[in-house]
């Protein structure tokens, strides 16, 4: 069995590690000069819509999946002529366009912030009049980590906001005063079976995820079950096969869906240490038609800290008894064999704002002094 993966970043690498554990080889397609996924599989170096590269990928693989949702429509369509592409087209097209996504969620009974389509200045002015301020203008396509978004605090800022998003098709959304942000990962098998992991609390700065924690502190039980129920219903409605991530705003017991990702997700990295079966393995199991693994917790708690812009010093990590993950995902340490913290190095060149690794602490009890000390060692991470 060979699995094709569009995208060779860290998500591809961790999918490849899980696949290898199941005896499955991976072939990646990515145009970059060097990729984290090169650590674990072969790569076709070409653009995502290169017809010869897509034909080669289809020929070499039994099934194809992806690590990012902005897969060009023509690439997905040409692959799907000869090889199953999972998750399928409905999941991709729904998550590629914020207007289609929010409309789909609302139609399926999932609460979302108030939103309106915006095509030009008159439609933005009408939307601002309807929704009020503060509100957020977001491009329909291609935004991530807070890119392609402008906050409008006063109707007079409308024309400037249109300019700042380059006049592209957009939606205006009500600004939600949430208590916290959380994500739910659900995996749906080829036979329609679903399993989910508990909600994860996420903290961002400058639109970039910095810190995730599970079980999610401060999330009432009612909000927790509502999020799992919504995520499962969305996966069923999309006829999704693989991992689906749904990001929510939580205010008391109330939850509003912000966005969906038809793929494994940064917030789910902690499932590697925290869960019986992690997001990557269950995604590979689902897309290759295998039975899903149990998602029960192996520890009481887990915290994931993203290294952004620069990697932590390996010497300092080793002194703090942090294990390092090797190319094939095995955690090694020079300290005791029982470690509570593991650093996953993506072997990327550091650049401002770039995710270059993550550190997970998983244990039954996490001492705040320990987690704060580790967070202080990881550039870009948030101390609690
Ligand atoms: P997004 O790209 O839609 O995930 O947005 C990035 C981040 O911007 C979110 O994680 C929130 O912190 C914030 N954000 C996005 N939409 C809203 C909203 N409607 N109300 C308040 N904050 C928002």
Report how far residue 128's alpha carbon sits from residue 134's, in angstroms, rounded to the nearest whole number. Answer: 9
Task: Give per-residue pLDDT as tens, 307-362.
Answer: 999 999 999 999 999 999 999 999 876 655 567 999 999 999 999 999 999 999 99
Q: Which atom of ligand 1 is nearest to the CA of 175?
A: 20
Strand partners, 170: 118, 139
pLDDT in tens, 232-284: 999 999 999 999 999 999 999 999 999 999 999 999 999 999 999 999 999 99
pLDDT score, position 334: 61
15-24 residue pLDDT tens:
999 999 999 9
| Dihedral pair phi/psi, residue 172, rounded to 5° | -105, 130
Evaluate: CB of 113 within 6 angstroms of ligand 1. yes
Domain with CATH 3.30.470.20 in the chain: 180-377
Q: How many CB atoms lie within 10 A of CB 215?
A: 15
Ligand 1: residue whose CA is nearest its atom 1: 146
Residue of 136, 175, 205, 259 with the most ligand 1 atoms within 8 Å of its CB, for mutation: 136
How far apart are alpha carbons 233 and 241 in whole angstroms?
13
Would you give the DSSP letter of residue 211? E
What is the rounded distance in angstroms from the CA atom of residue 1 to the CA atom of residue 60?
10
Cβ density class 332-347: b for 16+ within 10 Å, e for less: ebeeeeebbbbbbbbe
Cis geometry, peptide bond prior to residue 290 (ω within 30 degrees of 0): no
**Which pLDDT value is given to residue 148?**
83
- For ligand 1, whether the C-beta of 204 sits within 6 Å is yes
Q: Are 225 and 233 in contact (CB under 8 A)?
A: no
- On whether the CB atoms of residues 6 and 71 are closer than 8 A, the answer is yes
Superfamily of domain 180-377: ATP-grasp fold, B domain (3.30.470.20)
Lowest average pLDDT, out of 69-73, 150-154, 211-215, goes to 69-73
Give CATH for domain 114-174.
3.30.1490.20
Q: Whose CA is nearest to atom 19 of ligand 1?
A: 175
Please work out whether the CB of residue 320 comes within 6 Å of at least one atom of ligand 1: no
pLDDT at 339: 79
Taking the CA of residue 209 as reference, the ligand 1 atom at the shortest distance is: 10
- Residue 227's SS3 state is helix
CB atoms within 10 A of CB 288: 21
CB of 45 closer than 8 Å to CB of 31:
yes
203 lines ligand 1 (CB under 6 A): no
Q: Tell me the helix, strand and coil percentages in the chain, rounded to 5.
A: 30, 30, 40
Kindly report, as residue ranges, where domains of CATH 3.30.1490.20 are found in the chain. Answer: 114-174
Q: In CATH, what class is 2-85? A: alpha beta
pLDDT score of 268: 98
| Distance between Cα 362 and ligand 1 center (Å) | 28
Q: How far apart are CA 268 and CA 265, in angstroms?
A: 5
Neighbours of 255 (CB within 10 A): 27
């Amino acid at each position: 069995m060979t699995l094709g993966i569009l995208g060779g970043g860290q998500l591809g690498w961790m999918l490849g590690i899980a696949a290898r554990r199941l005896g499955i080889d991976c072939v990646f397609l990515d145009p970059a000069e060097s990729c984290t996924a090169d650590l674990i599989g072969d790569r076709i170096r070409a653009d995502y819509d290169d017809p010869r590269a897509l034909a080669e990928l289809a020929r070499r693989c039994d099934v194809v999946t992806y690590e990012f949702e902005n897969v060009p429509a023509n690439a997905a369509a040409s692959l799907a002529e000869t090889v199953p592409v999972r998750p399928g087209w409905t999941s991709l097209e729904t998550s590629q366009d914020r207007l289609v996504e929010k409309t789909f969620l609302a139609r399926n009974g999932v609460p979302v912030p108030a939103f309106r389509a915006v095509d030009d200045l008159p439609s933005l002015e009408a939307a601002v009049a309807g929704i009020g301020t503060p509100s957020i203008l977001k491009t329909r396509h291609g935004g991530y980590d807070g890119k392609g978004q402008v906050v409008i605090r006063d109707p007079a800022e409308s024309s400037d906001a249109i300019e700042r998003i380059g006049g592209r098709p957009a939606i205006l959304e009500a600004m939600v005063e949430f208590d916290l942000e959380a994500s739910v990962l659900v995996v749906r098998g080829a036979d329609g079976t679903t399993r989910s992991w508990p909600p994860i609390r996420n903290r961002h700065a400058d639109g970039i995820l910095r810190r995730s924690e599970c079980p999610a502190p401060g999330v009432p039980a009612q909000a927790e079950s509502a999020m799992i129920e919504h995520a499962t219903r969305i996966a069923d409605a999309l006829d999704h096969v693989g991992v689906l991530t749904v990001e929510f705003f939580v205010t008391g017991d109330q939850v509003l869906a912000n966005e969906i990702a038809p793929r494994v997700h940064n917030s789910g990295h902690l499932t590697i240490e925290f869960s019986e079966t992690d997001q990557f393995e269950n995604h590979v199991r689902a897309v290759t038609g295998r039975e899903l693994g149990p998602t029960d917790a192996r520890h009481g708690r887990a915290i994931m800290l993203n290294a952004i812009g620069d990697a932590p010093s390996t010497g300092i990590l080793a002194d703090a008894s942090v294990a390092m993950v090797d190319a094939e995902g095995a955690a090694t340490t020079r300290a005791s064999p029982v470690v509570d913290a593991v650093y996953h190095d993506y072997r990327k060149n550091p650049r401002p704002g770039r995710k270059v690794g993550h550190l997970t602490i998983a244990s039954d009890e996490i001492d705040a002094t320990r987690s704060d000390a580790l967070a202080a060692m990881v550039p870009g991470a948030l101390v609690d």
